Amino acid sequence: MYYYGSLAYDYDDYIEPSKKIVKRERKKTATKTFSVLKLFLLLTIMFVGSMVTLYSVCLINTKANEIVSLQKKLKDIKSDNVILEEEISRKFDINETKKIAQTKLGMNAPLPYQIVYIKKPKQNYVIKY
């Protein structure tokens, strides 16, 4: 029995596995290339950000120095107020007033015959409307 066709391999088309040409696709690595414009924009943003930060730090330091100087002034004013309150209370002391009246103004206490008593009515009030 003879078949018109063959099931046998065609050895002319056969290539040995070691000699087989295999094309491998190289994996494309993502190269991070910055254009000059992107680099310039990035540097500009960084520069502006650093200048804003520097300016805000300078403002904070200036305000802190002003606060410290105002606190010193407030402390001085409070100490001056304490001194003035003491001086005022000393000036309104009855003994101090009597001393000044006798020494500087030459005043004396009234003698018993110079004192005149005034009788006032029992109803001594003011009516407010």
Total-model pTM: 0.45
Integer Cα distance of 41 and 29 in angstroms: 25
List pLDDT tens digits, range 52-70: 999 999 999 999 999 999 9
Q: Where residue 129 falls among pLDDT bands split at 50, 70, 90?
A: low
In the prediction, which pLDDT does 93 show? 85
70-94, pLDDT tens digit by residue?
Answer: 999 999 999 999 999 998 888 888 8
The confidence score (pLDDT) of residue 97 equals 86
R_g of the chain, CA atoms, integer Å:
55
Give dist(CA 40, CA 48) in Å, integer. Answer: 12
